[in-house]
Amino acid sequence: MADRPNFLLFITDQQRADYLACAGHPVLRTPHIDSIAEGGRRFDRFYVATPVCMPNRSSLMTGRMPSLHGVRSNGTALNLRANTFVDLMRVHGYRTALLGKSHLQNMTGLPALLERKDPPEGHLPPPAAFEEAMRRTDADGPVDVESPHGWRDDPDWDLFYPFYGFERVDLCTEHGDLVGGHYWQWLKERHAEPDSLRGSANALPHDYTMPQAWRTAVPEELYPTRYVAERTVDFLETHAKDGGDAPFFAMASFPDPHHPFTPPGRYWDMYDPDDMTLDASFAANAEPPPHVRWARERREAGDAVTNSQSLFAVSEREAREACALTCGMIAMIDDAVGDILGTLDRLGLSDDTVVIFTADHGDYLGDHRIMLKGPVHYQSLIRVPFLWKDTAARAAPAGATATLAGTLDIARTVLDRAEIAPYNGIQGKSLMPLIDGGPDDPDADILIEDDQQRTILGFDAAPRVRTLVTRRWRMTLYDRTEWGELYDLENDPSELVNLWDDPAAGEAKAECMERLARRQMALVDRSPFPTNRA
């Protein structure tokens, strides 16, 4: 092949699209991440396949929707038989490395919330190997290697390799200053009592009121963001020292800016909550959909759960604090990105390396008076950054595109740029025509799947949600409900006025329903390939 570039993919955890200076944030400074956009293409309407960590990361790796790869919610590990685009790059000669967070397997050690139903009286239950639609075999391999018990209790604990295609992994699990995995081993080598630094019980004094926010005692040089930067620099230096005969694909995966909100050292008070601008939806008096209203009512009644992964309602002060602390965490990531990009320059690798930046999903950060994430598909949750800077020889005019694209497209785009044909069943589309400066596609649309494990927000069962996004509309359907959501994004960018029951929007609603059906039809699995005509 004439052109085998290196690839460096940065991915953050829970970063919404507008939390970059190059995306228009009024306060946050991100010069190093912005440099990727300045030398390439910025996708202003880039959407997740699902707004949940494990499923969307699995979609990134496989190029397939959650309903196909099987990771429909957090709590289901990506099957080891699943093909990934990183696998394909590895077998075609790329050196592959994951530096940081994976979250393709469960990392909490907590039991599932869903329970299998007992068989009807008098019926024989299926044996363990026959409980699912696809029988489990020994070839499936272990699905618990990210679990905390091994990293804490077993000095010989490690991953299997290649790990979903990665030949080298320096693993981070969990979030904030509570990260585990290889990072935990690294931290123990550098501090005699690392547990004395971590968690809210060891926090330094502060006056913030935001739930799940504490001023960590972990110093900047020992915080997980620095670990990801150090290990990525080490990988690049090792690659250069070995001669760099083969190209590389490296993923630098930061656990931040996911909650808990624990930026270390100077990053804690780098940004002032009073300088944060909240979306117009925070103060709006528009009637919210039922599940958002439920969250607000729980907070007003004083019985909201604010210490879990699920969304909850917040006060204005709490929202401003969360925004400021998120900016601090992103600023630290930006400095880490600067160190890594500087290493590319120092080693003479920049001209031959494609640099990409994205996130696994967003965060409400006070929009509509709610925080974190959940089955409410506001733009702040489902839209994430996507920046692409190509090699010096392939560089196209810098700029932005408004074409709808998403996480589902990343695998196919990287393979296309590497001139590697995809496997059957991969979905999404190559974005190379847009990256090369081609015209926008005004007719593109996005399907978002969301299957929760928790029964939350007043639903009588774990919510199942499907969303269609077009250039103008966002339509969301909920299983087992008569209500839905329809927003005119052109005239109502804050998604305040739900047009679901508005007769004047009937034609738009019908058109979105048809487009949703056609999109679902287009995403039906094409694997396995037929072997005959029967």
**pLDDT for residue 190 is more than 80:** yes
For 6-110+139-434, CATH number out of 3.40.50.280, 3.40.720.10, 3.40.250.10, 1.10.3720.10 equals 3.40.720.10
Q: What is the average pLDDT across 75-86? A: 92
With a pLDDT cut of 70, the percent of the chain lying above it is 99
Residue 201 CB: number of other CB atoms within 10 A? 9
Residues 6+ apart with CB under 8 A from 485: 289, 377, 474, 475, 476, 495, 498, 500
Q: Say which DSSP state 100 is in.
A: E
What does the alpha-carbon distance between residue 107 and residue 393 come to, in Å, rounded to a whole number? 41
Q: What is the average pLDDT across 489-506? A: 98
Domain segments of the chain as ranges: 6-110+139-434
Arithmetic mean of pLDDT over the chain: 94
115-174 pLDDT, tens digit each: 778 888 889 888 877 877 777 765 566 778 888 888 888 888 888 899 999 999 999 999
Q: Phi then psi for 32, rounded to 5 degrees? A: -75, -45
What does the alpha-carbon distance between residue 330 and residue 98 come to, in Å, rounded to a whole number? 20
Confidence of residue 395 (pLDDT cuts 50, 70, 90): confident
250-284 pLDDT, tens digit each: 999 999 999 999 999 999 999 999 999 999 999 99
Chain CA centroid to CA 531, Å: 36
Asked if residues 65 and 411 have their Cβ atoms less than 8 Å apart, the reply is no
H runs (alpha helix) in 242-348: 290-301, 316-346
**pLDDT for residue 445 is more than 50:** yes
232-241 pLDDT, tens digit each: 999 999 999 9
- DSSP H/E element including 424: none
The length of the chain in residues reads 534
What does the alpha-carbon distance between residue 86 and residue 62 come to, in Å, rounded to a whole number? 9
Asked if residues 150 and 144 have their Cβ atoms less than 8 Å apart, the reply is yes
| Sequence letter at residue 273 | P
Asked if residues 86 and 63 have their Cβ atoms less than 8 Å apart, the reply is no
296-307 pLDDT, tens digit each: 999 999 999 999
pLDDT score at 138: 59
**pLDDT for residue 102 is more than 90:** yes
Strands 399-401 and 41-43: parallel
**Which of 11-20, 103-112, 385-394, 457-466 is predicted with the least confidence, judged by mean pLDDT?**
103-112
For 452, the token pair is: 């929760």
pLDDT score at 1: 40
Strands (E), 13-52: 41-43, 46-47
**pLDDT for residue 2 is more than 60:** no
Angle at 224 between CA 195 and CA 374, to 5 degrees: 100
338-380 pLDDT, tens digit each: 999 999 999 999 999 999 999 999 999 999 999 999 999 999 9
Helix (H/G/I), strand (E/B), else coil: 49: coil
Q: Which residue has the higher pLDDT, 477 or 453?
A: 477
Asked if residues 321 and 213 have their Cβ atoms less than 8 Å apart, the reply is yes
Q: Directed axis angle between helix 410-417 and helix 53-62, to 10°?
A: 30
Asked if residues 282 and 367 have their Cβ atoms less than 8 Å apart, the reply is yes
Q: Phi then psi for 303, rounded to 5 degrees? A: -120, 25
Is the whole-model pTM more than 0.85? yes
- Long-range contacts, stretch 266-269, CB < 8 angstroms, 24+ apart: 266/220, 267/220, 267/328, 267/329, 267/331, 267/332, 268/206, 268/215, 268/216, 268/325, 268/328, 269/328
| 84: nearest Cα among 251, 256, 253, 254 | 251
Confidence of residue 112 (pLDDT cuts 50, 70, 90): confident
